[in-house]
Amino acid sequence: MNESTTNLLGSNPGFLRLLHTMRMVAATDASVMINGEKGVGKTSLAKEIHACSRRRNLPFLPINCAGMPDADFASIFSGGGQQENAGSSEIPLGGTLFLDEIGELSDRSQSILFHFLDSAGSDQDLRVLSSSSRNLMDLVEQNQFREDLFYRLYVVPLDLPPLRERRADIMPLVDF
């Protein structure tokens, strides 16, 4: 087992099942959608998936989609994979791309991302992890999120419960 699992503490049976599922999916290249309220640790879970994967020695690039202007998003996903946000690094070839709060993307940015994943993304051997605090299926039904993008990203859903549903885990987290 990877030592970084110590950052994900808890003894709640549902949380332990989530960690077990996370370890199994980490060994694959499947796209993962991490669902949960803001502040529950979706980014930590995404980092853990990357750390437990065969890509652990390759780059992990988190992109916060909440409030990102379309022009900034386009600069990341068009023009040869150059990323001008966060220091002009490149989309991580062979690595992991984490799209945090994907439900906040505008229609234009959703189209840019879908085109990237449909063409260049498959050529780049790229693992895609996403998270959302919003119910994406509801957004699809309300025509606020692209259905084709939803099915591209929502291959393996992981639902991260809030601490109010894991009360026994609060004290170990405080002690940590």
72-116: pLDDT as tens digits: 999 988 754 443 333 334 676 789 999 999 999 999 999 999 999
pTM of the model: 0.87
Q: Please give the Cα distance from 56 to 74 (Å, whole number).
A: 27
pLDDT in the model for residue 127: 92
For the chain, state the CA radius of gyration: 16
